[in-house]
Structure formats: structure tokens, C-alpha cells
Amino acid sequence: MIGIGLYYLYNSSFTYFDNQLSLTNFLQEKINHKFPLKIKEDIYLIKLKSQDSFELHELIDKNRLYLKKTLPWLNYSNTVQDSKNFISQSNNDFLKKSLILGIKSRKLIGIISFHTIDWQKKEAEIGYWLDEEMQGKGIITISCTHLINLGFNDLGLEKIVISASTTNIKSQSIAKRLGFQEKCIIKDQGFLYDHYVDHILFSKTRKEYLKEQNQ
């Protein structure tokens, strides 16, 4: 928020920024060069561009029925223009409110993100989805690992959370595999088209992350 000073942990010391914009500009310069980021053979995390709109739309359309089981936004993404608008908004919000990346092999195969970033709390929430045909290969787990490293090492976050519906066993398993701790169940956390769903909140703090790295 403009007008509120922010402290950012950099090189083991705190740097003060007068406002959110100056911090965002600093972080963009700091991490833009990292992308595309190779995470495994022939798979990269990329910053989405306008020219990715058609591929993103095709990927969503191909997986629409599958994604509708767990994600609430499919009715708002029906055209190439919708995907183009999403990419444009994602780039406008890049490191201001969120950090949204494509997962790409020969073509786009999914999305991973800090879909919310609270700079006052230094906290972010991970979101992800993947082409159904590409599942079972550890792609989301390794993508999350790289994003978590980026969050704690480059963005100076103090906590990262994952929220998964109580029926989304796959997403819960990913959170546990990543070493996130189950904290609580939040009743009626999301509305999935015609009904509310409860979510399990998982979290990992900087302290827990550093302890893992030193083991």
C-alpha cells in the first residue's frame, strides 16, 4: 500500500522501503532474470506473455471438467480473450499482489502461483493446477519447491500457506510432501459453483524452512 513503509529481509539484514511500489520495483529487478526457470528436463517456470493466451485457453478448455471439481473460476474463463485478460492482469499485479507463472514443456501444461501476497504480513498463498495428462510425474511438487525457495530466499517471506479443500486429497498430499504443517479446517472457505466447501490450511514458516535446509 502506498504510503506505508515496508521492511524487506535482504542478505541477512533488513532494508527499508518507503512504499509498496519501491519494494515491488526492487523485487522485479531482483528476480526477473530468473525466468524461464528450469525445474527439470524440458520443463520450465515462465512469466506468461500475451502470446501465451491461445495455449492457456486450449489447456483450460481441455481440462475444464476435471478442473471444475476443485477450482471455482472455470465459468469465467471461456475464450482466448479471457485468457489474455488473465495474463494481462497477472503481469500488472506481478509482485504487487501476486506472482503467477506458467509451467511449460513443449507447450503450456499448468499454472503455479503465489496467488495472494500480503507484504505487511510477509505471507503468501500457493495455488496450482496441472494438465490432467501430466499428473503423477512430480511436476507440481518440484514446481512448488522452486516457488517456495524463491519466496523465502528472494522475496523475504516469513510464511507460505496452502489451502486445500477437504475433498481434494491430491492437493493435501502435495502440501504434506512439501513439509507443510496442517493448522486448521476452515468451514465454508470456498464456494464451488453451487455449494460451499471446507478447506484445510497448511503452512510453513521461514524458521521451519531454514531448519529443513540445515538438516
CATH number at residue 35: 3.40.630.30
Length of the chain: 215
- The answer to the question of residue 1 being in a domain is no
Count of domains observed in the chain: 1
Domain range enclosing 51:
6-213
**How far apart, in whole angstroms, are the C-alpha atoms of residue 23 and residue 109?**
31
pLDDT for residue 59 is more than 50: yes
pTM given for the model: 0.89
Closest CA to 89 of 46, 39, 48: 48
The percent of residues in the chain predicted with pLDDT above 70, rounded, is 92
Asked whether the predicted pLDDT for residue 31 surpasses 70, the reply is yes
Lowest mean pLDDT across 1-5, 142-146, 192-196, 209-213: 1-5
Average pLDDT over residues 19-38: 84
Task: Calculate mean pLDDT across residues 70-79.
Answer: 95
Residue 12 in domain: yes
In the sheet where 108-118 sits, what is the strand order? 37-40, 43-47, 99-104, 108-118, 123-130, 159-165, 196-205, 181-191
The reply to whether 187 falls in a domain is: yes
- pLDDT at 137 (0 to 100): 94
